């Protein structure tokens, strides 16, 4: 009998395998591991009861500070947004929550229709012809878009704006190592003039610091040089700004987490990925399509899934083995519930809060809004004490902002500000607390009183 409930192999099985490879025991297979590393002392405490474990975990959890426990101005790709109560109720139904990848349409109509609706809603929002369903997150979507452009254009040079979110750029560089791509970082202002020899230009609008970008001019320069334009975008910004499809983007990507998905300590997220129809054969991920069966009844199927499990390895566009369908369903439910007017209303609230707050902070002595041009719902604030020091001082007061020094290009370009993001959840009391704290920290209050 086999005494190990987790392995089907008997002692005789293991002995036969060891004999076949010419080894006396399993320990002989581990000789490459240093002796002192084979049985390390883990220093674990004695076992605890279930109640003790729960108490310990609750104590540890209480040490965390949640985004909703005080003024919160961190944003970018991942944002604190209001999620209607109906979103998790519908999206986390057992039928969706436990569904496997929908290879068999005859038993996957619910999931396939839901992701088809997601694709349709996102295509309308982006003004793009094709949307997949979907990528792991915005960063991997941008990296896959760059690889797609390289395959289509036949060049290995990717030019990315320094004002694209730093996580997206780091992910791109990671993907580029295996493919041996040349990644060139330039400021957005130099993107159009850097298109020669490039497979694609990558721009973010609004950029990582909230500034609005003239995408059309960059798209024209890319196309004139035989390159593609990849635009990184944000779903709420699309409710008010001109969409990528009308700005000349060939591929549009972004992070879909703000569409009804909790922040949840870093995941799961939703990678938005769209392109022009002419490029669809090189798009990674999968596409759900609508069709009719032999009886003329409407149905849904996997129309395109270009990974090596389904086609010849050399023709596969990526190795995405898990699909973020559940996150896409959250987004579909969120967009359906809010509709165009609801999404615009949420976006307008964030923009209004950001501009009102920027005006108040910019009026403080020694403080300046440091964006290079008009901004959307986030902006950068520059003070004499520097962004990182200001961030830490605000954190001591329970107010959370981001410092540009955390971005790869921040220190290199001498930029040391804080980034302040506003959404529909930003309150008047949050803004009052931030203005008062900045005035106190920077000494602006004393300067005003001394006048």
The 10s digit of each residue's pLDDT in 390-413 is 999 999 999 999 998 656 444 445
Pairwise CA distance, residues 159 & 182, whole Å: 8
CB 160 within 8 Å of CB 195: no
Q: In whole angstroms, how far apart are CA 163 and each of 3, 91, 248?
A: 59, 34, 19
Co-location of 233 and 330 in the same domain:
yes
**CB burial class (10 A; 0-12, 13-18, 19+) of residue 122?**
buried
CATH number at residue 369: 3.90.1150.10
Q: Is residue 125 part of a domain?
A: yes
Co-location of 75 and 103 in the same domain:
no
Which of these three, 314, 334, 354, is where a domain ends? 334
Q: Is residue 111 part of a domain?
A: yes
Co-location of 268 and 356 in the same domain:
no
Co-location of 247 and 287 in the same domain:
yes
pLDDT of residue 37: 86
Co-location of 344 and 319 in the same domain:
no
Co-location of 227 and 254 in the same domain:
yes
Co-location of 257 and 389 in the same domain:
no
Q: Is residue 208 part of a domain?
A: yes
Which of these three, 334, 351, 367, is where a domain ends? 334
pLDDT of residue 284: 87
pLDDT of residue 396: 94
Q: Is residue 149 part of a domain?
A: yes
Pairwise CA distance, residues 205 & 249, whole Å: 11
Beta 418-421 vs 378-383: how paired, if at all?
antiparallel
Pairwise CA distance, residues 19 & 25, whole Å: 9
Q: Is residue 206 part of a domain?
A: yes
**pTM of the prediction?**
0.86
User: From first to last of its 451 residues, what are the pLDDT tens digits of the chain?
Assistant: 556 778 888 889 999 999 999 999 988 888 889 988 888 887 878 888 999 999 999 999 999 888 888 999 999 999 999 999 999 999 999 888 887 777 788 888 999 999 999 999 999 999 999 999 889 999 999 999 999 999 999 999 999 999 999 999 999 999 999 999 999 999 999 999 999 999 999 999 999 999 999 999 999 999 999 999 999 999 999 999 999 999 999 999 999 999 999 998 878 899 999 999 999 989 988 889 999 988 999 999 988 776 555 556 666 676 565 556 899 999 999 999 999 999 999 999 999 999 999 999 999 999 999 998 999 999 999 999 999 999 999 999 999 999 986 564 444 455 789 999 999 999 999 999 999 999 999 986 555 444 4
Co-location of 100 and 204 in the same domain:
yes
Co-location of 414 and 299 in the same domain:
no
CB 170 within 8 Å of CB 307: no
Residue range(s) defining the domain that contains residue 132: 86-334
Co-location of 165 and 260 in the same domain:
yes
Q: Is residue 436 part of a domain?
A: yes
Q: Is residue 295 part of a domain?
A: yes
Co-location of 322 and 442 in the same domain:
no
Q: Is residue 7 part of a domain?
A: no
Percentages helix, strand, coil for the chain (3-state, rounded to 5) are 45, 15, 40
Pairwise CA distance, residues 115 & 326, whole Å: 9
CA 231 to chain CA centroid, nearest Å: 14
> Per DSSP, what are the bridge partners of residue 421?
378
**Structural domains of the chain, count:** 2
CATH number at residue 204: 3.40.640.10
Co-location of 285 and 384 in the same domain:
no
Q: Which residues contact 349 (CB under 8 A, 6 or more apart)?
A: 423, 424, 426
In terms of DSSP H, where are the helices of 185-324?
Answer: 215-224, 244-247
Which of these three, 282, 301, 334, is where a domain ends? 334
* Backbone dihedral angles phi then psi of residue 334, each to the nearest 5 degrees: -60, -50
pLDDT of residue 312: 61
């Amino acid at each position: 009998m086999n005494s190990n409930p987790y392995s089907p192999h008997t002692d005789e099985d293991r002995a036969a395998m060891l004999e076949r490879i010419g080894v006396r025991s399993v320990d002989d297979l581990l000789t490459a591991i240093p002796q002192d590393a084979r049985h390390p002392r883990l220093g674990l405490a004695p076992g605890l009861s279930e109640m003790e474990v729960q108490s310990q975990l609750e104590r540890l959890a209480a040490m965390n500070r949640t985004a909703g426990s005080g003024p919160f101005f961190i944003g970018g790709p991942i944002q604190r947004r209001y999620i209607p109560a109906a979103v998790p109720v519908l999206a986390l139904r057992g039928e969706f929550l436990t569904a496997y990848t929908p290879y068999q349409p005859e038993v996957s109509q619910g999931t396939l229709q839901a992701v088809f609706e997601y694709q349709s809603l996102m295509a309308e929002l982006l003004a793009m012809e094709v949307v997949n369903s979907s990528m792991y997150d915005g960063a991997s979507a941008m990296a896959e878009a760059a690889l797609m452009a390289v395959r289509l254009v036949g060049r290995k040079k990717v030019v990315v704006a320094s004002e694209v979110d730093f996580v997206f750029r780091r992910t791109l560089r990671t993907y580029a190592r295996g493919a041996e791509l040349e990644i060139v970082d330039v400021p957005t202002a130099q993107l159009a003039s850097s298109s020669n020899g490039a497979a694609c230009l990558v721009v973010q609008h609004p950029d990582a610091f909230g500034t609005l970008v003239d995408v059309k001019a960059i798209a024209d320069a890319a196309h004139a040089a035989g390159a593609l334009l990849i635009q990184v975008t944000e779903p709420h910004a699309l409710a008010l700004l001109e969409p990528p499809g009308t700005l000349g983007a060939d591929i549009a990507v972004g992070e879909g987490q703000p569409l009804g998905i909790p922040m949840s300590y870093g995941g799961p997220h939703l990678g938005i990925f769209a392109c022009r129809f002419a490029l669809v054969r090189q798009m990674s991920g999968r596409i759900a399509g609508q069709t009719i069966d032999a009886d003329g009844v409407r149905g849904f199927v996997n129309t395109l899934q270009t990974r090596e499990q389904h086609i010849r390895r050399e023709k596969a566009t990526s190795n995405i083995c898990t699909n973020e369908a559940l996150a896409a369903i959250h987004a579909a439910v969120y967009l359906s519930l809010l509709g165009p007017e609801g999404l615009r209303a949420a976006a307008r609230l964030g923009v209004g809060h950001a501009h009102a707050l920027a005006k108040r902070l910019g009026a403080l002595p020694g403080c300046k809004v440091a964006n290079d041009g008009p901004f959307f719902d986030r902006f950068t604030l520059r003070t004499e004490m520097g962004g990182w020091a200001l961030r830490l001082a605000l954190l001591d007061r329970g107010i959370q902002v981001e410092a540009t020094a955390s971005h790869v290009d921040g220190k290199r370009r001498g930029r040391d500000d804080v980034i302040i993001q506003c959404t529909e959840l930003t309150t008047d009391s949050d803004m009052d607390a931030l203005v008062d704290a900045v005035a106190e920290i920077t000494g602006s209050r004393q300067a005003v009183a001394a006048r």
